Amino acid sequence: MAKKKDLKKKIKKVKGKGKGFISEFKAFILRGNVMDMAIGVIIGGAFQAIVTALTTDFINPLINGIGGAKVGGTFKIYGGQVIRYGDFITAVINFLIMAFVLFILLKIVNNILNANKKEEKEEVVKTDEAILLEEIRDLLKKKK
Protein backbone atom coordinates (compact mmCIF):
# COMPACT_ATOMS: atom_id res chain seq x y z
CA MET A 1 0.00 0.00 0.00
CA ALA A 2 2.79 2.40 0.88
CA LYS A 3 4.37 1.82 -2.53
CA LYS A 4 1.12 2.73 -4.30
CA LYS A 5 0.82 5.95 -2.32
CA ASP A 6 4.44 6.88 -3.11
CA LEU A 7 3.83 6.12 -6.76
CA LYS A 8 0.69 8.30 -6.82
CA LYS A 9 2.64 11.17 -5.21
CA LYS A 10 5.39 10.87 -7.82
CA ILE A 11 2.84 10.84 -10.64
CA LYS A 12 1.21 14.01 -9.30
CA LYS A 13 4.59 15.74 -9.13
CA VAL A 14 5.45 14.77 -12.71
CA LYS A 15 1.97 15.57 -14.04
CA GLY A 16 2.21 19.30 -13.44
CA LYS A 17 5.75 19.65 -14.76
CA GLY A 18 4.87 18.78 -18.36
CA LYS A 19 3.01 22.04 -18.88
CA GLY A 20 6.02 24.07 -17.80
CA PHE A 21 8.26 22.17 -20.18
CA ILE A 22 5.89 22.69 -23.09
CA SER A 23 5.53 26.40 -22.36
CA GLU A 24 9.34 26.74 -22.11
CA PHE A 25 9.70 24.94 -25.42
CA LYS A 26 7.15 27.27 -27.05
CA ALA A 27 9.00 30.30 -25.71
CA PHE A 28 12.27 28.89 -27.03
CA ILE A 29 10.87 28.23 -30.50
CA LEU A 30 9.19 31.63 -30.76
CA ARG A 31 12.31 33.47 -29.62
CA GLY A 32 13.91 35.52 -32.38
CA ASN A 33 17.28 33.77 -32.12
CA VAL A 34 15.85 30.43 -33.17
CA MET A 35 14.09 31.96 -36.15
CA ASP A 36 17.29 33.77 -37.15
CA MET A 37 19.19 30.51 -36.87
CA ALA A 38 16.64 28.69 -39.05
CA ILE A 39 16.89 31.41 -41.70
CA GLY A 40 20.69 31.19 -41.52
CA VAL A 41 20.60 27.43 -42.07
CA ILE A 42 18.33 27.80 -45.11
CA ILE A 43 20.47 30.56 -46.61
CA GLY A 44 23.60 28.54 -45.82
CA GLY A 45 22.19 25.56 -47.72
CA ALA A 46 21.45 27.73 -50.73
CA PHE A 47 24.90 29.31 -50.51
CA GLN A 48 26.49 25.87 -50.34
CA ALA A 49 24.98 25.07 -53.74
CA ILE A 50 26.58 28.23 -55.13
CA VAL A 51 29.98 27.34 -53.65
CA THR A 52 29.74 23.78 -54.98
CA ALA A 53 28.91 25.08 -58.46
CA LEU A 54 31.80 27.56 -58.24
CA THR A 55 34.21 24.81 -57.25
CA THR A 56 32.97 22.23 -59.75
CA ASP A 57 32.41 24.49 -62.74
CA PHE A 58 35.09 27.16 -62.27
CA ILE A 59 37.91 26.25 -59.87
CA ASN A 60 38.34 22.59 -60.84
CA PRO A 61 38.63 23.35 -64.57
CA LEU A 62 41.19 26.07 -63.76
CA ILE A 63 43.23 23.61 -61.72
CA ASN A 64 42.92 21.03 -64.50
CA GLY A 65 44.01 23.57 -67.13
CA ILE A 66 46.90 25.10 -65.19
CA GLY A 67 48.35 22.10 -63.42
CA GLY A 68 47.38 19.44 -65.91
CA ALA A 69 46.05 17.32 -63.03
CA LYS A 70 42.48 16.15 -62.84
CA VAL A 71 40.74 17.17 -59.63
CA GLY A 72 38.03 14.61 -60.30
CA GLY A 73 40.53 11.76 -60.36
CA THR A 74 40.29 8.33 -58.84
CA PHE A 75 42.76 5.80 -57.57
CA LYS A 76 42.01 2.08 -57.99
CA ILE A 77 42.79 -0.24 -55.12
CA TYR A 78 42.27 -3.96 -54.55
CA GLY A 79 38.97 -5.69 -55.32
CA GLY A 80 37.89 -3.12 -57.87
CA GLN A 81 37.39 -0.49 -55.17
CA VAL A 82 38.10 3.13 -56.01
CA ILE A 83 39.33 6.03 -53.88
CA ARG A 84 37.92 9.28 -55.23
CA TYR A 85 40.60 11.70 -54.14
CA GLY A 86 39.26 14.34 -56.53
CA ASP A 87 35.94 14.42 -54.70
CA PHE A 88 37.80 14.83 -51.42
CA ILE A 89 39.88 17.71 -52.78
CA THR A 90 36.71 19.35 -54.11
CA ALA A 91 35.05 18.98 -50.68
CA VAL A 92 38.08 20.56 -49.00
CA ILE A 93 38.00 23.49 -51.45
CA ASN A 94 34.26 23.91 -50.80
CA PHE A 95 34.89 23.91 -47.05
CA LEU A 96 37.66 26.50 -47.31
CA ILE A 97 35.51 28.80 -49.44
CA MET A 98 32.55 28.49 -47.05
CA ALA A 99 34.77 29.05 -44.01
CA PHE A 100 36.37 32.11 -45.61
CA VAL A 101 33.00 33.64 -46.54
CA LEU A 102 31.61 32.99 -43.04
CA PHE A 103 34.74 34.52 -41.52
CA ILE A 104 34.31 37.67 -43.63
CA LEU A 105 30.59 37.89 -42.78
CA LEU A 106 31.33 37.46 -39.08
CA LYS A 107 33.96 40.21 -39.19
CA ILE A 108 31.47 42.55 -40.90
CA VAL A 109 28.74 41.79 -38.36
CA ASN A 110 31.15 42.25 -35.44
CA ASN A 111 32.34 45.58 -36.84
CA ILE A 112 28.74 46.77 -37.18
CA LEU A 113 27.91 45.64 -33.64
CA ASN A 114 31.05 47.26 -32.21
CA ALA A 115 30.25 50.52 -34.03
CA ASN A 116 26.77 50.51 -32.47
CA LYS A 117 28.25 49.85 -29.01
CA LYS A 118 30.70 52.73 -29.41
CA GLU A 119 27.86 55.07 -30.38
CA GLU A 120 25.87 53.96 -27.33
CA LYS A 121 28.86 54.56 -25.05
CA GLU A 122 29.43 58.03 -26.49
CA GLU A 123 25.80 58.94 -25.88
CA VAL A 124 26.10 58.36 -22.13
CA VAL A 125 25.86 61.71 -20.35
CA LYS A 126 27.41 61.91 -16.91
CA THR A 127 25.25 63.32 -14.17
CA ASP A 128 26.49 65.89 -11.70
CA GLU A 129 26.61 63.20 -9.01
CA ALA A 130 28.80 60.96 -11.18
CA ILE A 131 31.21 63.82 -11.88
CA LEU A 132 31.37 64.66 -8.16
CA LEU A 133 32.02 61.02 -7.24
CA GLU A 134 34.82 60.82 -9.81
CA GLU A 135 36.43 63.95 -8.33
CA ILE A 136 36.21 62.47 -4.84
CA ARG A 137 37.76 59.23 -6.09
CA ASP A 138 40.61 61.12 -7.71
CA LEU A 139 41.25 63.12 -4.53
CA LEU A 140 41.32 59.93 -2.46
CA LYS A 141 43.82 58.40 -4.88
CA LYS A 142 46.05 61.45 -4.51
CA LYS A 143 46.01 61.15 -0.69
CA LYS A 144 47.24 57.56 -0.84
In a domain, 56, yes or no: yes
Q: List pLDDT tens digits, range 77-108.
A: 888 888 887 778 888 888 888 888 888 888 88
Give 85's DSSP letter. H
**Among 27-31, 49-53, 66-70, where is mean pLDDT lowest?**
66-70
Q: Is the pLDDT of residue 66 over 80?
A: no
User: What confidence score (pLDDT) does residue 88 get?
Assistant: 82
Instruction: Give the CATH number of the domain where residue 47 resides.
Output: 1.10.1200.120
Q: What count of other Cβ atoms lies within 10 Å of the Cβ of residue 51?
A: 19
- Going by pLDDT thresholds of 50, 70 and 90, the confidence category of residue 69 is low
User: What confidence score (pLDDT) does residue 79 get?
Assistant: 82
**Among 50-54, 91-95, 123-127, 128-132, where is mean pLDDT lowest?**
123-127
User: What confidence score (pLDDT) does residue 15 get?
Assistant: 57
Q: Is the pLDDT of residue 142 over 70?
A: yes
**pTM score of the predicted model:** 0.48
d(CA 55, CA 23): 45
Backbone angles phi, psi at 31, to 5 degrees: -70, 145
Give the chain's domain count. 1
In a domain, 1, yes or no: no
Mean pLDDT of 23-48: 77
In a domain, 2, yes or no: no
Mean pLDDT of 37-49: 83
In a domain, 47, yes or no: yes
In a domain, 13, yes or no: no
Say if residues 85 and 76 touch (Cβ distance below 8 Å): no
In a domain, 4, yes or no: no
Question: Residue 133 is part of which domain span?
Answer: 31-143
Mean pLDDT of 30-45: 77
In a domain, 15, yes or no: no
How many Å separate Cα 2 from the centre of its chain? 52
In a domain, 24, yes or no: no
